[in-house]
């Protein structure tokens, strides 16, 4: 297994009715926390309605977060590209590329909240068609081309960016896949990254993973591009604690609100799971393979299952969900960094091997050590015994 990257996908989720200012500050503080823990990436979403996913501009939020967290990479996860003028999207990404010193990833999707699209007169079919049109334009603009184009919502006339990328190779790009083939198809067409969001949140979730990548590879072959599994990110929910019992107790804080959001508020049929009582919700998460509520050992097993079922990927993202209170959520991130990540990043096995080697020779070396102590003790006693008395 090659080295996996790890991160968080923060839509975000906050229970409607809580203080939004405090919630956003909490998100910023959490990103600082995972930055110090060594996570590789954090993806921030864009939503405009429904009351729980309250970041309306991932670009603005990233600009604030990047001043606090100096190492982690930031991804727009995702910009609802169908809602925007593609020229300004490309220009804002280029600005972020410079503000973050090359730590930005441009993630795009059609916009999954129907209540968002409805406010600007777009259907879910419209948003998917506009995604393809606008992504073509953004890719060309970021490559330094001059673009003239007329879309269903905007017109560009000799449009060109005024900045070059901060880093050689430009800004990495990715497109979201949830349930339809749209995202995977576009990833293959442009030879860019793919992020599978919530693909473990359905009974058939694991098979959806190989479905996504198969489409990306097929379209890449058709368009003469290349896709790389290292640029494929998977997002799924985890909450871990020292024991299964503690993890189950932790999520009583907020898992019901999260379930009800997808069951009753957000029109995401592909992310809706059964469950009426909290114990049933926990069972659904664990037993259907949707995620993990339990120990680090359970989390390691989940990542391994995802790896085996998908055929390999580049980044495992934990979904932000506010199942637990802030302290328990931070502790979960700490345990994941300490007990899960090293097993997939080449850091755990060398220390385990070193401990095993030392254990094999311990008894013999311990006896040798004791023999040396005995020898030096006897030598000292002999010296004292043979020395003349200093006082009469």
Report the domain count for the chain: 2
Are 291 and 305 in the same domain? yes
Residue-wise pLDDT tens digits, 207-260: 677 788 999 999 999 999 999 999 999 999 999 999 999 999 999 999 999 999
Same domain, 64 and 205: yes
Q: Are residues 330 and 208 in the same domain?
A: yes
* Spatial contact of 20 and 54, defined as CB atoms under 8 Å apart: yes
* Whole-angstrom distance, CA of residue 105 vs CA of residue 90: 12
The Cα 318–Cα 338 span in angstroms is 15
Judge if 204 and 312 occupy the same domain: yes
**CB 321, CB 237: distance < 8 Å:** yes
Same domain, yes or no: 252 and 379:
no
Residues 38 and 179 in one domain: yes
Clarify whether residues 257 and 189 are in a common domain.
yes
What distance lies between CA 35 and its chain's CA centroid? 12
Q: How far apart are CA 86 and CA 177, in angstroms?
A: 20
pLDDT tens for 131-173 read 999 999 999 999 999 999 999 999 999 999 999 999 889 999 9
Task: Find where tokens 């993973």 sit.
Answer: 209
Kindly state whether residues 213 and 247 are assigned to the same domain: yes
Domain match, 264 and 231 both: yes
Q: What is the rounded average pLDDT for all residues in the chain?
A: 93
Residues near 40 by Cβ (< 8 Å), separated by ≥ 6?
5, 6, 7, 72, 73, 315
Instruction: Indicate whether 206 pLDDT > 60.
Output: no
CATH number where 116 lies: 3.20.20.30
374 & 300 share domain: no
Under the banding of pLDDT at 50, 70 and 90, the label for residue 205 is very low
The reply to whether 194 and 77 lie within a common domain is yes
235/267 same-domain check: yes
Q: Which domain-ending residue is among 313, 331, 346?
A: 346
pLDDT tens digits, residue range 319-361?
999 999 999 999 999 999 999 999 999 998 899 999 999 999 9
pLDDT exceeds cutoff 90 at 178:
no
Give yes or no for a cis peptide into 168 (omega within 30° of 0): no
Which H or E element spans position 342? none
pLDDT (tens digit per residue) in 23-35:
999 999 999 999 9
Instruction: List for the chain the helix, strand, coil content (%; round to 5).
Output: 55, 15, 35
What is the extent of the structural domain holding 33?
A: 5-346
**CA geometry: angle 176, 177, 183, nearest 5 deg:** 75
Backbone angles phi, psi at 110, to 5 degrees: -80, -20
């Amino acid at each position: 297994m090659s080295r996996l990257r790890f991160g968080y996908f923060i839509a975000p989720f906050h229970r409607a009715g809580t203080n939004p200012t405090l919630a956003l500050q909490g998100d910023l503080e959490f990103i600082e926390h995972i930055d110090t823990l060594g996570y590789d990436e954090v993806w921030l979403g864009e939503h405009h309605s429904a009351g729980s996913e309250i970041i309306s501009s991932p670009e603005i939020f990233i600009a604030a977060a990047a001043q606090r967290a100096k190492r982690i990479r930031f991804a727009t996860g995702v910009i609802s590209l169908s809602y925007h003028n593609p020229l300004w999207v490309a220009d804002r990404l280029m600005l972020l590329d410079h503000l973050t010193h090359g730590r930005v990833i441009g993630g795009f999707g059609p916009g999954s909240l129907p209540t968002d699209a409805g406010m600007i007169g777009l259907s879910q079919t419209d948003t998917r068609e506009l995604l393809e049109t606008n992504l073509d334009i953004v890719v060309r603009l970021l490559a330094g081309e001059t673009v003239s184009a007329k879309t269903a919502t905007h017109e560009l006339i000799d449009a060109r960016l005024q900045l070059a990328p901060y880093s050689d190779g430009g800004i990495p790009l990715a497109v979201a896949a949830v349930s339809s083939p749209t995202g995977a198809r576009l990833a293959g067409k442009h030879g860019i990254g793919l992020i599978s969001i919530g693909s473990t949140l359905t009974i058939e979730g694991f098979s959806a993973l190989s479905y996504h990548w198969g489409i990306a590879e097929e379209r890449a072959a058709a368009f003469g591009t290349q896709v790389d599994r290292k640029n494929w990110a998977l997002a799924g929910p985890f909450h871990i604690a020292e024991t299964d019992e503690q993890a189950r107790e932790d999520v009583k804080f907020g898992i019901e609100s999260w379930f009800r959001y997808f069951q009753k508020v957000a029109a995401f049929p592909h992310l809706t799971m059964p469950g009426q009582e909290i114990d049933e919700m926990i069972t659904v998460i664990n037993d259907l393979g949707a995620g993990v509520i339990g120990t680090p050992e359970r989390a390691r097993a989940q990542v391994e299952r995802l790896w085996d079922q998908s055929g390999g990927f580049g980044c495992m993202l934990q979904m932000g969900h506010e199942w637990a209170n802030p302290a328990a959520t931070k502790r979960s991130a700490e345990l994941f960094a300490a007990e899960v990540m090293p097993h997939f990043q080449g850091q755990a096995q060398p220390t385990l091997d070193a401990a095993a080697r030392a254990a094999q020779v311990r008894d013999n070396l311990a006896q040798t050590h004791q023999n040396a102590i005995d020898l030096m003790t006897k030598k000292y006693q002999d010296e004292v015994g043979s020395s003349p008395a200093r006082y009469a």
